[in-house]
Amino acid sequence: MQDWYSSSRARTENGKICLRRKKRLFFHISNLHNLTYCMTERTKKLKKQKTEKEMLLCYLNCANDSGEKELITTERTLQK
């Protein structure tokens, strides 16, 4: 009787340990998914900022007054 009880108790303890490991693994996988999502969003923002920078540099290289007016309007839109 004693051996059955101790082996049953050991199995339930092992089952609890396995369950905790599974929960911890699921938690890490969900955190990894969140991290990946944040990285893609920031990469998109970075690409957008690079294109805006290229546009501004193009406007700055314009020699006529219309380029300066466009630069002022784009600066105002970017500030909003």
The residue among 14 and 48 whose pLDDT is bigger is 48
Residue 1 has pLDDT above 50, yes or no: no
Angle at 35 between CA 29 and CA 80, to 5 degrees: 155
Residues 12 and 20 sit within 8 Å (Cβ to Cβ): no
Over residues 30-49, the pLDDT tens digits come to 888 888 899 999 999 999 99
What is the distance between the alpha carbons of residues 9 and 18, in angstroms, rounded to a whole number? 14
Sign of CA dihedral 11, 14, 20, 23: negative
- pLDDT for res 29: 80
Over residues 45-69, the pLDDT tens digits come to 999 998 888 888 777 766 455 556 6
